[in-house]
Amino acid sequence: METENRSRELTTTDRILRAFERLQHIDRRVMYALLAVVVAVPLIWNFKQPVVVTWPVQGAYDTIEKMPADKLAIIDIVWDSGTVAESRPQTEALIRHLMLRNKKFAIVAFMPQGNKLAYDSAKRIGSELGKEYGKDWIHWGYRPGGAMIQFMMGLGRDIPGTVKSDIEGKPVTSYPIMKGIKSIKNGDVGVIAEVTPSGTLDYWIAYVYGSYRTPLIYCPTAVMAPEGYNPLDAGQIKGMLTGMKGAAEYESLLGRQDFATRAAGALSTSHLLIIVLIIAGNIGYISSRRRRSES
Amino acid sequence: MFTHWIVKPGAPQYIWALAVLGDFLIMGGALFFLLRMVPSRFRKTLVAAVTFLAGLIYSVEFFVPPDPATGENFLTSFAQKTVTDVVLVLSTFALGLGIYSLLRFHGRNLARRRAGWHNSLALYFAFFAMLLSGFWTMMGKSPAASNTYDMLFRGLVAAPGATMFSIIAFYIVSAAYRAFRIRSGEATLMLAAAFVVMLGSVPIGEYLTSGLPTTGFLSNFRMENVNLWILKEPNMAAWRGISFGVEIGALAMALRTWLSLERGSFFEREL
Amino acid sequence: MDHANLPIAILEGVLVFLILFKIYSARRGRDLYIRRIPGLNAIEEAVGRATEMGRPMMFSPGINALNMPTLQALSILRHVTSVAARYRTRVIVPTCDSVVYTVAEEISKDAYNSEGRPEQFNADDIRYLSDDQFAYASGCVGILTREKIASSFMFGAFFAEALILAETGHNMGAMQVAGTPSITQIPFFITSCDYTIIGDEFYAASAYLSREPTLLGSLVGQDYAKGVLIVVIVAGIIAASVLGVDHQLLSLLSTFGQ
Amino acid sequence: MNTLTSWLSNSSITQSIALWLAVGATLGIYSILYKENPIYRLVEHMYIGAAAGYYAYIGWAQTLKPLWWDRITDGQWVWIFALIGGSMFYFIYSQKHVWISRIIFGGLLGLVAGAAFKGFAGLNVDRIEASFKPLWGVPAPNIINNIFAMVILLTVMIYFFFSFEHKTKLHRAPANLGRWFLMFAFGAMFGSTVMARMSLLIGRVHFLLADWLPIAK
């Protein structure tokens, strides 16, 4: 009976404040469940969401657009299955762009798993767009990470002599795509794009850009992105795709909505969830403080 | 001894194993005998001397000017190749201690049938499965070996590792919710910075200010630019401020350790 | 920076001289002041709380191999273990490196001995979990939840796993004190722990807890060394303003002699 | 035995087992978010065991064999001493001769300490020089940024002075200001880490939804 009496005495504001106060103590399991939902939903259902193309991504896109058709682009794969959700969309967006514009490119991998995953991606997009292996694109295969610097310096002087054979073990000179490709020094490489979760960009800058000024594109994971801004400022790299978000912006430039666009949606929703929860927590906090000061 | 005079390169591996064991017992035993003769009052001095001499390697290598032609001084190749390898080899020998301790702990669980002993059994199973499949891949190129190794690595090491890493996403949500309240000036400041940076790093945040021009004064207020400015200017400066202090703290500690001036941890004990 | 050039040798020489000079003058009995570091005062409180609740504590010395941050963490471990021995409360120490594991075991044994409670030492409480960062984290989560840890200490070098340990501890209702020189992880400790020791307060900890003259002297010397860096930076800022940013004097440290 | 080997030679079988193991591990670890439970316990133990086995194998295959064993069998017999040094660690288990382990610990700590001079220079020289930012003679926005950077850097450093009593306002004000800047920076660090962690979670959810349940292809 007593509680009923008390509740009758409550003013309306008091009741509202009490309701809001609960927002202070949302159970963590509820928050975890909400996070799982807001991450999964955009991955399953594609919904339209705004994508703003930032200048580092635009720079990467323009660099590939401007590459002369007689030159070769190199996509350097330094990722493996651990970062597949971020690195594969970046790789696929670049491959698709190069194939759409009829530009020749070569893939080279320094990670065994990434080697195969990138090969599968290129084969799939190639068959979708009617591109022929060996004529429109080539995969130079896997090289151990320890040999990276020697390999890069070798490309500078002599590409066929350094690469020797492709992923299928055939000599690269037997493919039409390699006709007339001699070395980076000779100006045969138009763009080098590196997709990586680790800090290997410095090697390309030191051993290739430093000597031959070949345009570089950097595709790091979100964790590594801060390290890219220095060389970007200094003009050592022409463009950068930051994790899933960068890949999503690139997809929008290509007029597509593939995995990265959905993943970027999930990034937005998960960040929004945190922001909403912080606001809710503060509403609860302020209400309880108000109520305490009133009583 | 054996490895130098008797067994020559090209001998079978098991002969080598015996030779290494023999040498280890003879030379290690001799060293042990010598060390036992060290009177206890000189033991601390001996340890300090070893510490000091070891410290000289890298510090002298750093401070002695290099030969301009090669960029190396008389210690460089020793310090950077040999010593690095020795440390790697030594710490790998020490790995045995950790694994022994782990297996001993869970072995006791098993032997005494403590609560959860079947988990200890699973630990043993996973340990030997991974270890043996690894060695299997070293014995020639059989597809069964590499498939098994790959299967166990992906299922038992890579997948739980990636999941454990990603679980931070959940914890970051609950930590932000709980801690970012406008309780005090400090907490509010932290909240404000986190709020802006979070909003500025996702497409939806960039969309909010996408109406602003991309060049000129107003472009500074675009979300992604505000975000970048916070990370590059105030954040970088504060980071440097802390890091100078931390690095000097580490330098002082290294100095005390090198000269055996350190107190605390395990430097107190009588030897 | 493969080798020191003259300016670097001078700079480091000055820093080393100041630290050593203060250590030796402190050993001759100069009285020294240190400001309060609240997080370190909380250690005793945390041990007391675990004792009242009759539940164990956990101390994680970080995930690095035996280096300076880990050595400092082990100094703090010695202090925590001594307090725990006095209160007769268990400390579980999960380690992420074999060498650190052995040193931790020795320190712990030693701390119990010097408190006159050797029988309290339990070899099963010092555990090697894994060299793998996240396997270690998963094991710590297991300890925190299954052993119903009442107080959790995290001192040492931490990386991404910091938040896993800290949030799990928080969810278990443990009182948590943390300190790390890994700057990127400080924010996560601040949000999830009761007390966080930031930046080089971590390296001040052993001096603060032990009041050992050598360590106090070193701490004062470190302050002087920081003062020298401030002077160098201010001088550099003035030089950059007067002489222009590209003047060679400003890159003396990195390019001298090249 | 032969059937088992032929079975394991078929990569599509091992890959689907790997997938199911990975799914089990993923869901098992996530289950800790609800509460501690037997499934998590099992996954945790298997993960720790497998990681130990993996490191033991890698330790032999990538360190001891190439750097130690191959050298000895190649005639470089001095490497025997590495085994003797390594065995010193194990004296930790002896009550009487525990001090012998100290020799090897001392040696390792000495090496780490000696490397500190190089480490200090390598980390800080560039940072010190990058802090030399002019306060005049450059465009106005840069001047504002540079003043800001200088004030933050100096006040933060002052906050970390331990041996001066912050008695007067003149002492206290910069240190307090430094602490405020620190908190702001910590907030920014927190915020900038969120995207990286969410990307990892999206990766895992994508694994469950695309590789396992073909929902989000």
pLDDT of residue C22: 93
Tell me if C223 and D47 make a contact (CB, 8 A cut-off). no
Indicate whether C198 and C231 sit together in one domain. Answer: no
Which of these ranges, A129-143, B96-110, D85-99, has the smallest mean pLDDT? D85-99
pLDDT of residue B236: 87
Which structural domain, as residue segments, surrounds residue A202? 55-256
Task: Mutate one of A20, A39, A275, A287 to test the B interface: name it (highest B CB count within 10 A).
Answer: A275
Indicate whether C98 and C54 sit together in one domain. Answer: yes
The average confidence (pLDDT) of chain A is 88
pLDDT of residue B200: 86
Indicate whether C69 and C192 sit together in one domain. Answer: yes
State yes or no: pLDDT of A279 exceeds 50. Answer: yes
State yes or no: pLDDT of A7 exceeds 70. Answer: no
* Nearest-by-Cβ selection for B253 from C68, C168, C188: C68
Overall number of domains in chain A: 2
B176 beta partners: none
C-alpha count within 13 angstroms, C-beta hemisphere, residue C85: 22
Tell me if D153 and C219 make a contact (CB, 8 A cut-off). no
Could you tell me if residue C71 is inside a domain? Answer: yes
Indicate whether A11 and A136 sit together in one domain. Answer: no
Residue D206 contacts A where some CB pair is shorter than 8 Å = yes
State yes or no: pLDDT of A224 exceeds 80. Answer: no
pLDDT of residue C241: 93
| pLDDT single digits (tens) B26-74 | 999 999 999 999 998 889 899 999 999 999 999 999 999 988 888 788 8
Element (H, E) at A108: strand A104-109
Tell me if C240 and D51 make a contact (CB, 8 A cut-off). no
**Pairwise pLDDT comparison (B10 vs B188), residue with the higher score:** B188
Indicate whether A25 and A73 sit together in one domain. Answer: no
State yes or no: pLDDT of B215 exceeds 90. Answer: no
**CATH number of the structural domain spanning residue C155:** 3.40.50
Residue range A159-175: mean pLDDT, rounded: 90
C-alpha count within 13 angstroms, C-beta hemisphere, residue B47: 26
Tell me if C68 and D116 make a contact (CB, 8 A cut-off). yes
Indicate whether C136 and C82 sit together in one domain. Answer: yes
Question: Which A positions 241-270 lie with beta carbon below 8 A of chain D?
Answer: 243-245, 259, 262-263, 266-267, 270
**Angstroms from C143 CA to nearest CA on chain B:** 13
Tell me if A274 and B173 make a contact (CB, 8 A cut-off). yes
State yes or no: pLDDT of D194 exceeds 70. Answer: yes
Residue range D126-144: mean pLDDT, rounded: 89
Q: Where are the beta strands (DSSP E) in chain C?
A: 57-60, 91-95, 126-128, 151-155, 175-179, 195-197
Residue B34 contacts C where some CB pair is shorter than 8 Å = no
| pLDDT single digits (tens) A228-264 | 777 887 788 999 998 899 999 999 999 998 889 989 8
The chains in contact with chain A, meaning 3 or more Cβ pairs closer than 8 Å, are B, D
Indicate whether A60 and A191 sit together in one domain. Answer: yes
Indicate whether A33 and A69 sit together in one domain. Answer: no
Residue B73 contacts C where some CB pair is shorter than 8 Å = yes
Residue C116 contacts D where some CB pair is shorter than 8 Å = no
Residue range B129-144: mean pLDDT, rounded: 89
- Amino acid making up residue A106: A
**Contact of D202 with B202, CB cutoff 8 Å:** no
Tell me if D202 and A243 make a contact (CB, 8 A cut-off). no
Question: Which A positions 128-187 lie with beta carbon below 8 A of chain D?
Answer: none
| pLDDT single digits (tens) A15-49 | 888 888 889 999 999 999 999 999 999 998 877 77
**Contact of B208 with D203, CB cutoff 8 Å:** no
pLDDT of residue C235: 95
Tell me if B147 and D14 make a contact (CB, 8 A cut-off). yes
Residue A184 phi, psi (nearest 5):
-70, -35
Q: Which residues of C touch D92 (CB under 8 A)?
A: 102, 105-106
Indicate whether C27 and C149 sit together in one domain. Answer: no
Interatomic CA distance for residues B193 and A5, integer angstroms: 46
Which candidate, D53, A167, D82, A82, places its Cα nearest to that of B148? Answer: D53
pLDDT of residue C258: 63
Residue C126 phi, psi (nearest 5):
-100, 110
**Angstroms from A259 CA to nearest CA on chain B:** 15
pLDDT of residue A91: 96
**CATH number of the structural domain spanning residue A226:** 3.40.50
pLDDT of residue C33: 86
**Contact of A242 with A220, CB cutoff 8 Å:** yes
* Nearest-by-Cβ selection for D42 from B59, B122, B144: B122
| pLDDT single digits (tens) B242-253 | 999 999 999 999
| pLDDT single digits (tens) D110-122 | 999 999 999 999 8
The greatest distance separating any two alpha carbons of chain A, rounded to the nearest whole angstrom, comes to: 94
Indicate whether A163 and A38 sit together in one domain. Answer: no
pLDDT of residue B1: 65
The average confidence (pLDDT) of chain D is 90
- Amino acid making up residue D72: I
Overall number of domains in chain C: 2
Indicate whether C131 and C15 sit together in one domain. Answer: no
pLDDT of residue A2: 47
pLDDT band, very low/low/confident/very high, at D188 (cuts 50, 70, 90): very high
Indicate whether C169 and C240 sit together in one domain. Answer: no
pLDDT band, very low/low/confident/very high, at A62 (cuts 50, 70, 90): very high
Tell me if C145 and D44 make a contact (CB, 8 A cut-off). no
Indicate whether A26 and A151 sit together in one domain. Answer: no
Indicate whether A71 and A182 sit together in one domain. Answer: yes
Indicate whether A36 and A69 sit together in one domain. Answer: no
Indicate whether A39 and A112 sit together in one domain. Answer: no
C195-197: strand order across its sheet = C126-128, C91-95, C57-60, C151-155, C175-179, C195-197
pLDDT band, very low/low/confident/very high, at A8 (cuts 50, 70, 90): low
Tell me if B193 and D63 make a contact (CB, 8 A cut-off). no
State yes or no: pLDDT of A6 exceeds 60. Answer: no
State yes or no: pLDDT of A10 exceeds 60. Answer: yes
pLDDT of residue C1: 57
**Pairwise pLDDT comparison (C63 vs B210), residue with the higher score:** C63
- CA dihedral angle for residue C91, residue C96, residue C100, residue C102, rounded to 10 degrees: 70
Interatomic CA distance for residues C250 and C94, integer angstroms: 47
Tell me if C35 and D132 make a contact (CB, 8 A cut-off). no
Residue C228 contacts D where some CB pair is shorter than 8 Å = no
pLDDT of residue C215: 92
Residue B217 phi, psi (nearest 5):
-60, -45
pLDDT band, very low/low/confident/very high, at D11 (cuts 50, 70, 90): confident
**Angstroms from B26 CA to nearest CA on chain D:** 10
Would the pTM of this model clear 0.80, i.e. be above it? yes
Tell me if B168 and C138 make a contact (CB, 8 A cut-off). no
Tell me if A268 and B203 make a contact (CB, 8 A cut-off). yes
Q: What is the Cα gyration radius of chain C?
A: 21
Could you tell me if residue C1 is inside a domain? Answer: no
Indicate whether C26 and C66 sit together in one domain. Answer: no
ipTM summary value = 0.92
State yes or no: pLDDT of A81 exceeds 80. Answer: no
Indicate whether A60 and A42 sit together in one domain. Answer: no
Indicate whether C130 and C204 sit together in one domain. Answer: yes
Indicate whether A247 and A272 sit together in one domain. Answer: no
Q: Which residues of chain C have pLDDT under 50?
A: none
Residue range A70-80: mean pLDDT, rounded: 93
Indicate whether C116 and C128 sit together in one domain. Answer: yes
pLDDT of residue D132: 92
Indicate whether A96 and A159 sit together in one domain. Answer: yes
Which structural domain, as residue segments, surrounds residue C98? 38-210
pLDDT of residue B159: 93
